[in-house]
Structure 1
Amino acid sequence: MTPTDRSPLAWQGLLAFTLMLLLTVFSGKALAQSPDSTLPSIGGAGGGGLISGQQEADIGRQVMTSIRRSAPQITDPLVYDYLSSIIYKLVPSAPLSSSDLTLAIIDSPDINAFAVPGNIVGVNGGLFLNASSEQQFASVLAHELAHLSQRHFARRLEQQEASAPMTIAGMIAGIVLSAVTQSDIGIAAIAGTQAMAIQNMLAYSRAHEQEADRVGMEILADAGMDPRGMPEMFEIMMRQNRLQGNRVPEYLSTHPLTQNRVSDTRNRAEQYPRRDVADAQEYHLVRSRLQVRYARSPEVALETFRDYLERSDTEKPDAVRYGFAVALLRSGNYDDAIGELETLLEGTPGRITYQVTFAEALIEQDRLQQARELLRDALDRNPGNYPITDMLADVEIEDGNGERAADYLHRLTRELPHKEHLWLRLAEAEGMARNIVGVHRARAEYDILMGDLESAERQLRQAQQRLPAGAPLRQVVTERLSQVSSRLNQRRS
């Protein structure tokens, strides 16, 4: 179900949950000075303004909870791995107070990206579709990192210092919903007749946008990428805006874009030395993978990529052939998909994207031992790699080896504890292995990420009851239970 398919009642439930979470940040109870409080008071001594860094981190955690509950996300490890790599190529050049980011990939074909307090950065899958080069794609990420580094969100709140807490919470909820929906239905539901006023507050000011453009281009140049990707991407957005008529693209609803701003950005980019920056092949492989995902059907994707392959002027032929292989895989033509992937692997034997996709096709054919050997060899050469480890877990689940699958998923949850779907898969694997304590613990971590602390507490109590007194694991479970119970008591007080 896409966000626009949700019923009004479903949206009301989502909005109520979002506001409940966010009001805990701004309500008098949550901000009261008590020994148990972990949040400094707004505007208090040493707070440095209306909203402190600690409060931004708390807002970020709650925003991610709302996104997990409300937005369809892309959980494809190959897509996430690429996004993580390009983000962390840019981060050393971004003047951030912390380089610890949480990434979200929204499953929508529309152009959008967002950054919210707490170092949350998200993109829609549609950003890959519309950015024809890695430089264009990276320019949007650099722009969002610039907003974070300049704390534009906090500065906007400081300008609204006289606003009631409910208005501030509504602004944050609006940011969440504008990031995951294709209309302003969420904003309208929260604000009623004040919808337009809150929409205006959500939009970054002209000065903030210009500053993010300038800092974003500095980030791009310092990271060895081409700042000219930014005006090129803005031109794409302007074209989309003209084509869509009255329906303003999501990104432009909170990032106002004018022709003057495009011209200013182009002039600024031309001040940087011209250099030929080649795109990473991985960008175009992931882009092809998502083009198949958003095609009207696998058959349409097949025809599209077949046409590209037959053209003499096709650019990035390996990426096109890879897209054709993925389309074959999605349409159930496993033998043909394997043939295309074998051809690609002959040219680049060690490319992880080809290996993981090849293993995916082998699993579909129930050739599990061959997939296992391929992936184990790949993991030996790339220790800890997320997509390879994830696909190995799939192999073991398909083969009924719950204990082995759980071992791989334990590795992933240690490295990526914020990925809620990994905890669900770990619970499945632990159940297959008949490790009931493991099931309860994994389910508890999933519930915590989803904001359901009551359920997490129940899961941990059940795990605790199954463990003998004095067992080291019982102490671990008891400590985690204490943390969850403490958070629940703070919420209830």
Structure 2
Amino acid sequence: MIARWFRLAAVAVASLALLARPAAAQQILRDAETEAFMADMSGPLVQAAGMEPRNVQVLVINDPDINAFVAGGQYVWVHSGLIAAADNMNQVQGVVAHELGHIEGGHVIRYGEGMKEATGITLLSLVLGAAAIAAGGAEAGMGILGMGQQAAMGKFLAFSRAQESSADLAGARYLSKAGVSGKGSLEFFKKLQNQEYRLAIPQDNSYGRTHPLSGERIQVLREVYTVDPAWDKPVDPKLEARFERIKAKLVGFVSEPTQTLQKYPESDQSIPAHYARAYAWHKSAYPDKALAEVDALLSAAPHDPYFLELKGQVLLESGKPADAIPPLREAVQLTNQPLIATLLGHALIATENDANFAEAEKVLRNAIARDRENPFAWYQLGVVYEHRGDIPRAALATAERYSMMGQDQMALRSADAAMQGLKPGTVDYLRAQDIAMVSRAAVEQKRKKK
């Protein structure tokens, strides 16, 4: 991992948007175009690591730090700050390859091994220190305790550094097997080294750190990368162009509009610049300026599904849901992306036209069938069920949403309400029963802890 390991994560909503569980430290940024790009960019690396691409996801979280991590399962979490800081796609590939090394090495699972060894040293020092104190050697006892804690920390840090070095070499192996240059990996470690210089971190010894110093990593990896056949292999220009797009829209979405407009001034008429400014103007509540930027994008590529999605989003969130439906429909037809489909369902419901609710239900059910981990889609489907008077299924949709958000008490209440009106033994009843069982257990566990 680039810096820190374990973070709580959450699922999110349609289009480029945020959602986090209340206890989560970060928010996931869900975006159809970004997720499609990440899958295509990382696919060869995932295969090189011996994993199935469809089972591994690279997701972006809203955090300005230059960082990435894994935290269990086959997920790589990349900070928005890392993408914004990356000069090219190859640098991001180097980071992802490193994180895949942690997954393949089972480092999250083995984290407990390092903790167990360190804890054992700590406990032993406590016993010996207590014995020395009991024998009248208070000063000696305290010394033993202090040395024990220091030894335990040193043991754990050495374990952590070993895992990082292992992931570095594994990532280099995946890049080589996938035919991807390691130049980006070295360039990114150089960025981290420059940060270390700015923070005045001593460069002579990595003892006392969870990670080897970037200079040490560069020295080792340079010898591996420069002799690799893929060293001088250029990046795919189409993928690089897609990276510039998602980087620009991400900057436009997470940055202050004034910062975005400084980075992408009006004089810049490139596709990424139009993308970034569209989000900046939309965030600033200037829908006409945002739509002008989107229209500039569509004049260059009239049937680009992600430009159509953005137009639909701006129109919908500017209070024009009926106008948002045609571009969103076309975007769904072109991509079949569940996140965009959820946005279309939202637009159909927002018209408050009874004639649109049947289509909204169909669109949302199809979206959930392909991506169940979307609480906003469940919320919108619940609205549809409530509109037609199907209160039990509205309650079930609400239970699904609360369950994903970690609100166990609300999930339990909604699941119980759903079971009151659903026919026992049906698929929906059994699903409500499952949610109730899991949520009740979670609620009881929280009570015991209190």
Please indicate the TM-score interval, normalised by the length of the shorter structure.
0.7 to 0.9
* Alignment-derived partner of residue 376 in structure 1: 329
The root-mean-square deviation of aligned C-alpha atoms, in Å, is: 3.9
Show the counterpart of 1:391: 343
**Aligned match of 1:100:** 55
> Deviations for 1:335-364, whole angstroms, at most 9, x for unmatched residues?
333233223223223322212112222324
Superposed displacement of residue 109, structure 1: 1.0
- Out of 275, 283, 287, the position equivalent to 1:322 is 275
2:228 is aligned with what amino acid?
Y
Contact 1:403 1:430 survives alignment (8 Å): no
Q: CA deviation at 1:231?
A: 0.4
- Check conservation: 2:278, 2:290, Cα contact below 8 A: yes
Specify the alignment match of 1:262 in structure 2.
218
Structure 1 residues 73 and 318: alpha-carbon distance in aligned structure 2, compared to 1, 3 A threshold: same
Q: In the alignment, which of 77, 85, 91 is matched to residue 31 of structure 2?
A: 77
2:249 aligns to what? 289
8 Å contact kept, 1:402–1:430? no
Q: Deviations over 1:306-360 (max 9, x none)?
A: 16617xxxxxx32123222322332233233323322322322332221211222
1:392 CA displacement: 0.8
Matched with 1:462 is: 417
For the pair 1:275 / 2:250, whether they are aligned, the reply is no
Q: Cα offset for 1:287?
A: 0.8
Question: Does the aligned pair in 2 maintain the 1:96–1:148 contact within 8 Å?
Answer: no
Letter in 2 for 1:320: A
Does 2:258 correspond to 1:299?
yes
Check the 8 A contact 2:39/2:57 in 1, yes or no: no
Counterpart of 2:286 in structure 1: which amino acid? Answer: N
Q: Provide structure 2 residue ranges, at least 5 long, that are not aligned to the other structure.
A: 1-5, 12-19, 123-148, 203-207
1:116 corresponds in structure 2 to 71
SS state of the match for residue 287, structure 1? helix
What's the counterpart of residue 185 of structure 1?
none
SS in 1 for 2:265: helix
Percent sequence identity over aligned pairs:
25
Q: Is the 8 A contact 1:308 1:320 kept in 2?
A: no
Give 2:311's aligned residue.
Answer: 358
- Structure 1 residues not aligned, in runs of 5+: 1-59, 168-193, 311-316
Name the aligned partner's letter for residue 333 of structure 2. D
Write the letter of the residue equivalent to 2:252: V
| Per-residue CA distance 1:420-460 (angstroms, 9 max, x = gap) | 44434444554455542233212222333344444323221
Preserved contact between residue 41 and residue 93 of structure 2 (Cα < 8 Å): yes
Helix, strand or coil at the partner of 1:121:
strand
Partner-residue secondary structure (3-state), 2:236 = coil
Q: Does 1:415 align with 2:367?
A: no
- Is 1:457–1:485's contact at 8 Å kept on the other side of the alignment? yes
1:71-220 matches, within 5 Å, as 71-78=25-32, 79-96=34-51, 100-101=55-56, 104-162=59-117, 201=156, 205-220=160-175
Distance 1:447 1:364 in 2: 24
Q: Deviations over 1:127-174 (max 9, x none)?
A: 111111111012111100111101223444334445669x9xxxxxxx
1:467–1:219 Cα change, 3 Å:
same
Q: Render the CA deviation track for 1:342-399: whole Å, top value 9, x for unaligned.
A: 232232233222121122223245443442122222322323x134213212312321
Kept in 2: contact 1:73–1:104 (CA 8 A): no
Relative to structure 1, is the Cα distance of residues 307 and 343 closer, same or farther in structure 2, using a 3 angstrom cutoff? closer
Pairwise CA distance, 1:305: 1.2
Is the CA contact 1:328–1:334 (under 8 Å) kept in the aligned structure 2? yes
8 Å CA contact 1:352–1:388 kept in 2: the answer is no
Distance 1:254 1:87, change over 3 A: farther
Distance 1:427 1:461 in 2: 16
Could you say which residue in structure 1 is the equivalent of 2:15?
Answer: none
Cα distance between partner residues in 2 of 1:447 and 1:195: 44
Letter in 2 for 1:467: L
Alpha-carbon distance in structure 1 between the residues aligned to 2:43 and 2:69: 16
More displaced 10-residue stretch of structure 1: 356-365 or 123-132: 356-365
Q: 1:363 to 1:422 in 2, by over 3 A?
A: closer
Q: State which structure, 1 or 2, has the greater radius of gyration over its C-alpha atoms.
A: 2
Equivalent AA in structure 1 for residue 183 of structure 2: R
Distance 1:387 1:159, change over 3 A: closer
Q: Write the letter of the residue equivalent to 1:263.
A: Q
Alpha-carbon shift at residue 65 of structure 1 (Å): 6.8
* Cα gap change, 1:147 to 1:220, in 2 (>3 Å): same
Give aligned pairs, total.
Answer: 396
Give the counterpart letter for 1:293 in structure 2.
F
The separation in 2 between residues aligned to 1:245 and 1:307, in whole angstroms, is 38
Provide the residue aligned with 1:241 in structure 2: 196
| TM-score normalised over the length of structure 2 | 0.74
Equivalent-residue separation in structure 2 for 1:195 and 1:76 (angstroms): 42
Cα 1:464–1:125 change in 2 (3 A) is same
- Once the two structures are overlaid, the 10-residue window that deviates more, 224-233 or 151-160, is 151-160
Residue type matched to 1:333 in 2?
Answer: Y
State the Cα deviation string for residues 205-229 of structure 1 (Å, max 9, x = none).
4433232122212323333432211
User: In terms of mean alpha carbon deviation, does 230-239 or 263-272 score higher?
Assistant: 263-272
The equivalent of 1:14 in structure 2 is: none
CA 89–417 in structure 1, closer or farther in 2 if over 3 Å, else same = farther
SS at match of 1:122: strand
Residue type at the aligned position of 2:345: A
